[in-house]
Structure 1
Amino acid sequence: MPPKNRESKPLLLENQTHKRRDRAQELRSARRQGVLAKRRVAGGASAQGQQEEPWSRERLESAIRGVRERPVSQVLPFLVELRKLLSLEDPPVEEVVEGGGLAPRLIELLSTPHDEVQLETTWCLTNIASSYSRHTRTIVGATPQLISFLSAPNPALQEQALWALGNIAGDSDDFRRMLRANGALLPMFRLLQNPPLIEIARTAAWAISNLARGDETPGEPFVQAAPTFVASLRGGVRFSAAAAAAAAAAAAGAGTGAGAPPFVPPRDEALRVEAAWILAFLTAKEEETVTELVRVGMVTALVEALVDSGGQDPLCTPALRTLGNMVSGKEEWADAVMLHNEFLPCLDAVLKSQDRSRRVLVKEAAWVASNVAAGRREHREALVAQGSPAALTLLLLSDQLDLQQEAAHGIWNIVAHDSELLLQAAKDDRVMGAYVALVRAQSPPVVRCALSFLQLVCQNVPGGPRMVESAGGLEAIDDVHYSGQADPELQEAAGAIVDRFFGDDGYESSDEGGDEETDTETVVGGGDGFGFNFGGSGDTSQNGARGPPGQQQQQQQPLAPLGRGAHLTRPSWMNQNPS
């Protein structure tokens, strides 16, 4: 382990434990996050697989004029036409909202007593809310009426209102706060727990996941529905009495006979995916929220979902994301995950995938593996025994920077606590070369991790500075030190490494067995290649020590890969046409 006292300034690596709040912040970091969280209702020819006709000015003006001027008894056909126009691939939302000024009229039509008018109006509002924030803002006055529709006797209207509210919730923290204040959550919880149709359960779960988004969203309002979320993740749905009776009648009509067992709906995979995304957002909230989710059986359901996914999306990514949040949190949460023997084999299988189309999923798995490696000693040893360092090494040697970044952090968390594996890594020209190359990367977090690895080799491996120099590391570190464009903190850290380890005194002390001030035992062992020939544990660190040292701290601080992209903020069925 690194020395407790050093003359050189420690490499500045902020506390990079995979904090759950950091994950929540990263989930919403993309510029177009609000749009990505939304799902537009297809209502025109495209829904039936037919070729769409582009909208014309005359057609649009006729629909707008009819909706605005016709009495309620005559407005329905114009609403249908407007809904079709707003459901096109390139809908004229700007023309309807700003040019036509139609939002107030649509909100007014929600109060009419005609079911079909309410349904078509809600559909139009859904599609407007799927557009940009400035368009969504024009129709937020409809939210009280939309929330009331969740308790309507018409299932079609219930589902359409869920879609509209989900689109509004996906836009911003302000809108999510407004919806919670207006009581949107409770009726959504009821529809998820006891839906009249499975489609409504799916859409309710999706809408709730959008309401759970954002680092400003508290977890406490969602806790009361924790058992429902876990049951949904397991694919179980308790239909209303009327729906259950209808399903049973349909089964009887299919010839199951009077002696058939009670109707049990099959697992719904789309519902499981949406429930997993709810949990992914909630496990980035307050500890009290996560503790309650653990209490009601979330961890077991998550591991079941990971196993059932077979390492394939759309279920695997949210399951991995949520489990990664768990192993990055309190130690008892990580313990609860690691108690499941199926977890590490499933994680390792995703890590070892050679399918380049699954790159995002592999990256997620590498992030989770790094979290595990940053935890308890026994968890890290189980990860090594599973063979995951070999998979991380292959990712480190790939040509994709995002995968290299995750793998570099994961390998650091392993070797920083295992002297034998650190020596194997240092003696592996491929691994050393990869970290040296990452020192020249354009991403400061990647450079920070690579510098930290080279520093670790210099101070803990006999002859470490010479190994680093032979791999081209000294030149790379100098490039950071003297670069006029590098982060000043990285420049200072690079200079400290050079001063401490590459002067005459540094070479002499390293050749004698490492920094004379360190209380780490001398590194022993060997190996034919890091990641492919692991020996015993050799762990010399204290239990719970994680990652590189932080500034002003003597104990090691947890290290974690940074950067979550918009690719993981999408609802699971965003690109699918509704059935």
Structure 2
Amino acid sequence: MSLRPRTTTRGDARRRSYKAWVDAGEARRRREAYLLDLRRSKRHGDLLKRRRRRHDDDDEDDDSASPPLSPRHPEPAITPRPTLQLPPPLPLLRRRRRRHRRRRRRRRRRWRFRGLSRPLSNFLSLCSFQLRNLPGMVERVWSDNPALQLEATSQFRRLLSIEKNPLIEEIIKAGVVPRFVAFLSLHELPQLQLEAAWALTNIAAGTTEHTQIVIKHGAVPKLVELLDSPRHNVRLQAVWALGNVAGDAPSCRNSVLEHGALYPLLSLFNEHARISMLRTATWTLTNLCRGRLPDKSQMKPILKILRQLIDSIDENILADACWALCYLSGGTIHEIEVVVEAGVCPPLVKLLLHPSPNVLTPVILTIANITAGDDSQTEVIVENGVLPCLFQLLTQNMRRG
């Protein structure tokens, strides 16, 4: 074997004259694997969905003077800000994101006494009493008396709203889920509609099997109809329930989309919407965007709303809207181009200076997805000033370290 150095071709020399860049396809695969790791944090649905509590709706009657849909996000200065909170290192970030995703993917609406002076034992005694009287509650639910129906449904809702170990399985075995679904059609009894939708919301916040029971009994199309209810609290509860169903699995999300929930949901984002509705509807929209959309034509109307939401000054709305953009931009180059054409790049770059890590994390991942596309898509991000913002993040992190 010759000891002389191997002769290089002109092409090899030319290739070495350029800086070695990361392969776009490999970068995209790594990002998809990271996002998949975030999604696999779902172990048990009762930690991933949101349970609705009694005090969650305390502000529903007080937020009529909420800010408009798209309050402009203040122009951030490029000068370093000492109060800027940066994301933690990647391993710690992943652990925090797993815990955060378990908390935010599903919400259970909880019930508590209005008077905080009552001891917890009173509440547990009340639940124990209601559980012992379960046959009577079932009888009242199936009665023809609206007052008895409302009373029993409210009692079931309270049992389902217990923060730890809700009695979902026992209530399902009692056979009242079909009755709750039937109550959703009683438009002349909006309070009964609210209680039934609330109970179904917390059942859908359980395991995948519990969510499938809600779908099996036909709750999804009736909940979609309630998105047009004249009552704000009924509309809000329907949005919440659909968000829990969609957040369970791709098949459940597809069921919500197939029943036409998207466009009624998007219509709720208007200048008259209360802040409670905007927060819940944005979270539900994020659950609808998780995974590949079955109909790509749905991306443009979704992006039109998300473009407005990322100008919000509300941290919860910003975080959920940016996660939706992260999911939508994690696909093919064509899908990335649709995201870029929606005009989200300038506000996304500005959000790199947002003080909250809850907002920064999805913003950084979304920008990473876009720059994993072709050269023109990367150039759009660069032209909007991403490099000074990234430099500021890195230098601030060095100072903090």
Partner of 1:59: 130
1:24–1:89 Cα change, 3 Å: same
Partner of 1:143: 220
Partner of 2:81: none
Q: Which runs of 5+ in 2 are unaligned?
A: 1-7, 13-22, 55-110
> Residue 27 of structure 1 contacts residue 214 of structure 1 at CA under 8 Å; is this kept in 2?
no
Per-residue deviation, residues 378-416 of structure 1 (Å, max 9, x unmatched): xxxxxxxxxxxxxxxxxxxxxxxxxxxxxxxxxxxxxxx
Mapped to 1, the partners of 2:114 and 2:336 lie a distance apart of 39
Alignment partner of 2:194 out of 119, 123, 131: 119
Q: Does 1:16 align with 2:26?
A: yes
> Residue 46 of structure 2 contacts residue 207 of structure 2 at CA under 8 Å; is this kept in 1?
yes
Alignment partner of 2:314 out of 264, 268, 275: 268
Partner of 1:416: none
Alignment partner of 1:103 out of 177, 180, 184: 177
- Partner letter of residue 59 of structure 1? Q
Partner of 2:259: 182
User: Aligned to 1:70, what secondary structure does the other structure show?
Assistant: coil
Give the Å deviation of 1:66.
Answer: 4.8
Mapped to 1, the partners of 2:297 and 2:114 lie a distance apart of 38
Q: Does 1:288 align with 2:334?
A: yes
Give the Å deviation of 1:178.
Answer: 1.0
- Partner letter of residue 315 of structure 1? V
1:322–1:70 Cα change, 3 Å: same
User: Aligned to 1:40, what secondary structure does the other structure show?
Assistant: strand
Mapped to 2, the partners of 1:32 and 1:350 lie a distance apart of 35
Mapped to 2, the partners of 1:222 and 1:61 lie a distance apart of 50
Q: Which deviates more, 274-283 or 53-62?
A: 53-62
Q: Does 1:45 align with 2:112?
A: yes
Per-residue deviation, residues 349-402 of structure 1 (Å, max 9, x unmatched): 5754758xxxxxxxxxxxxxxxxxxxxxxxxxxxxxxxxxxxxxxxxxxxxxxx
Partner of 2:394: 348
Give the Å deviation of 1:322.
Answer: 1.1
Alignment partner of 1:315 out of 359, 364, 371: 359
Q: Does 1:213 align with 2:314?
A: no
Give the Å deviation of 1:323.
Answer: 1.4
Mapped to 1, the partners of 2:113 and 2:231 lie a distance apart of 25
Q: Does 1:335 align with 2:362?
A: no
Alignment partner of 2:208 out of 129, 133, 136: 133
Q: How does 1:154-303 map to 2 (within 5 A)?
A: 154-215=231-292, 219-235=296-312, 267-303=313-349
Mapped to 1, the partners of 2:198 and 2:40 lie a distance apart of 29
> Residue 119 of structure 1 contacts residue 156 of structure 1 at CA under 8 Å; is this kept in 2?
yes
> Residue 280 of structure 1 contacts residue 319 of structure 1 at CA under 8 Å; is this kept in 2?
yes
Mapped to 1, the partners of 2:116 and 2:311 lie a distance apart of 32
1:229–1:68 Cα change, 3 Å: same
- Partner letter of residue 182 of structure 1? H
User: Aligned to 1:123, what secondary structure does the other structure show?
Assistant: helix
Mapped to 2, the partners of 1:145 and 1:293 lie a distance apart of 32
Structure showing greater radius of gyration is 1
Give the Å deviation of 1:48.
Answer: 7.5
1:78–1:305 Cα change, 3 Å: same
Partner of 1:92: 167
> Residue 123 of structure 1 contacts residue 164 of structure 1 at CA under 8 Å; is this kept in 2?
yes
Mapped to 1, the partners of 2:247 and 2:140 lie a distance apart of 27
Mapped to 1, the partners of 2:32 and 2:295 lie a distance apart of 11
Mapped to 2, the partners of 1:49 and 1:185 lie a distance apart of 39
User: Aligned to 1:39, what secondary structure does the other structure show?
Assistant: strand
Give the Å deviation of 1:35.
Answer: 4.8
User: Aligned to 1:166, what secondary structure does the other structure show?
Assistant: helix
1:315–1:46 Cα change, 3 Å: farther
Mapped to 2, the partners of 1:205 and 1:67 lie a distance apart of 36
> Residue 283 of structure 2 contacts residue 320 of structure 2 at CA under 8 Å; is this kept in 1?
yes
1:22–1:134 Cα change, 3 Å: same
Give the Å deviation of 1:204.
Answer: 1.0
Q: Which deviates more, 212-221 or 127-136?
A: 212-221
Q: Which runs of 5+ in 1 are unaligned?
A: 5-12, 236-266, 356-579
> Residue 282 of structure 2 contacts residue 317 of structure 2 at CA under 8 Å; is this kept in 1?
yes
1:22–1:219 Cα change, 3 Å: farther
Mapped to 1, the partners of 2:161 and 2:171 lie a distance apart of 12
Give the Å deviation of 1:320.
Answer: 1.5
1:23–1:181 Cα change, 3 Å: farther
Q: Which deviates more, 157-166 or 194-203?
A: 194-203
Mapped to 1, the partners of 2:396 and 2:201 lie a distance apart of 37
1:119–1:349 Cα change, 3 Å: farther
1:66–1:146 Cα change, 3 Å: same
Mapped to 2, the partners of 1:167 and 1:137 lie a distance apart of 11
Give the Å deviation of 1:181.
Answer: 0.9
> Residue 219 of structure 1 contacts residue 286 of structure 1 at CA under 8 Å; is this kept in 2?
no
Amino-acid identity (%): 27
Mapped to 2, the partners of 1:47 and 1:326 lie a distance apart of 48
Mapped to 1, the partners of 2:399 and 2:292 lie a distance apart of 32
- Partner letter of residue 348 of structure 2? L
1:100–1:22 Cα change, 3 Å: same
1:29–1:136 Cα change, 3 Å: same
TM-score (ref. length: structure 2):
0.70
> Residue 150 of structure 1 contacts residue 162 of structure 1 at CA under 8 Å; is this kept in 2?
yes
> Residue 86 of structure 1 contacts residue 93 of structure 1 at CA under 8 Å; is this kept in 2?
yes
Give the Å deviation of 1:82.
Answer: 1.6
- Partner letter of residue 328 of structure 1? A
Per-residue deviation, residues 6-36 of structure 1 (Å, max 9, x unmatched): xxxxxxx996323365455344223427555
1:149–1:216 Cα change, 3 Å: closer
User: Aligned to 2:222, what secondary structure does the other structure show?
Assistant: helix
1:323–1:349 Cα change, 3 Å: farther
